[in-house]
């Protein structure tokens, strides 16, 4: 049951992100991602899945915003993880 709920949440979150990104400029991307991360991390159960959700968000954003490098998105997300959780993203992300 928990898997079903998390799966539905993931799909809904990605749909919301796509809708938001269709209406915004790249300049405020970091603000939107910060808001999304803030919402994901509000719920203790979802906290455990936050890094996986970040990976999904990065992959989706790279596909939607092809002109932005994956490295730039990883740097933005890394800064937000440091601000929110006090930890950096896994180092393997920085080599991608």
The rounded distance, in Å, linking the Cα atoms of 51 and 65 is: 21
Dihedral angle sign, alpha carbons of residues 43, 48, 54, 57: negative
Q: Which two tokens stand for residue 35?
A: 């808001």
pLDDT above 60: residue 84:
yes
Q: What is the pLDDT of residues 26-45, one digit of tens each?
A: 556 666 666 666 666 566 56
Greater confidence, 2 or 57? 57
Mean pLDDT within 51-65: 68
Mean pLDDT within 11-37: 63
Greater confidence, 68 or 61? 61
Structure confidence at residue 79 as a pLDDT band (50, 70, 90): confident
Q: Which two tokens stand for residue 5?
A: 């709920």
Contacts with 92 (C-beta within 8 Å, 6 or more apart), sequence order: none
Instruction: Give residue 95's pLDDT.
Output: 44
């Amino acid at each position: 049951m928990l898997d079903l709920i998390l799966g539905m949440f993931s799909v809904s979150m990605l749909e919301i992100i796509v809708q938001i990104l269709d209406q915004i400029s790249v300049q405020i991307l970091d603000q939107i991602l910060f808001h999304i991360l803030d919402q994901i991390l509000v719920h203790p159960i979802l906290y455990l899945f936050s890094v996986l959700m970040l990976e999904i968000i990065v992959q989706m954003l790279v596909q939607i915003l092809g002109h932005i490098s994956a490295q730039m998105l990883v740097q933005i997300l890394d800064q937000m993880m440091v601000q929110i959780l006090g930890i950096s993203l896994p180092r393997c992300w920085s080599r991608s």
